[in-house]
Amino acid sequence: MNNYEKIKDNFFIYNNDDIEEFKKFINELHFNNILIYFYANWCGPCKKFFNRFEEITTKYNDILFLKINVNKCTDISIHYNILNIPTFKFINSDLKENYEIVGIDDNFINKKLLDISNNFNIIEEIKKINIRLDKIENQLKSRSI
């Protein structure tokens, strides 16, 4: 059985319960921001939100989205202290939790994702500005020689 099902470049259903394999998987994808949707197939609210979750993933290409079934991935669920479902965990690339939402609050999830995406865009713009400043500095140095 595959460790994951790729839905799109930033959206996977993850099926392996080994926490070390999970860490490797996250590191190989090179995303700074990750949203994990912990669910169960028998959970009514989870079933209702499945399609909506997939729709949300199309709005934020800079965020990795994972769906993890708590019944298949019990060690990962325990690692993230999942006590209720659905639960949404916002983590960074070091697998450290930044934020948690228990239950489905569509507006709040979108707000958190927008905040994360905006912060990412600001950081990317700062990197571009720094590159331009370095080029200008190099040009000025070459003129003074």
Options 34, 46, 56, 82, the catalytic residue:
46
What per-residue confidence (pLDDT) applies to 119? 59
Q: Who wins on pLDDT, 59 or 125?
A: 59
Give residues with Cβ within 8 angstroms of 98, minimum separation 6.
90, 91, 92
**pTM, entire model:** 0.73
- For residues 124 and 127, give the distance between their C-alpha atoms in angstroms, rounded to a whole number: 5
Q: Who wins on pLDDT, 51 or 74?
A: 74
Options 29, 43, 102, 104, the catalytic residue:
43
Q: What angle do CA 35, 92, 104 make, to 5 degrees?
A: 25
pLDDT at 143 over 80: no
pLDDT at 71 over 90: yes
Instruction: Specify whether 46 is catalytic.
Output: yes
pLDDT at 105 over 70: no
Instruction: Specify whether 73 is catalytic.
Output: no
What per-residue confidence (pLDDT) applies to 124? 52
Residue 72: count of CB within 10 angstroms of its CB: 16
- Sorted by where each begins, the domain ranges of the chain are 4-144
Residue 61 in tokens:
């290409």
CATH domain 4-144 topology: Glutaredoxin (3.40.30)
What per-residue confidence (pLDDT) applies to 44? 87
What per-residue confidence (pLDDT) applies to 108? 57
Task: Provide, rounded to the nearest whole percent, the portion of the chain with pLDDT above 90.
Answer: 17
Give which of 91, 128, 102 is closest to 39, Cα–Cα. Answer: 102
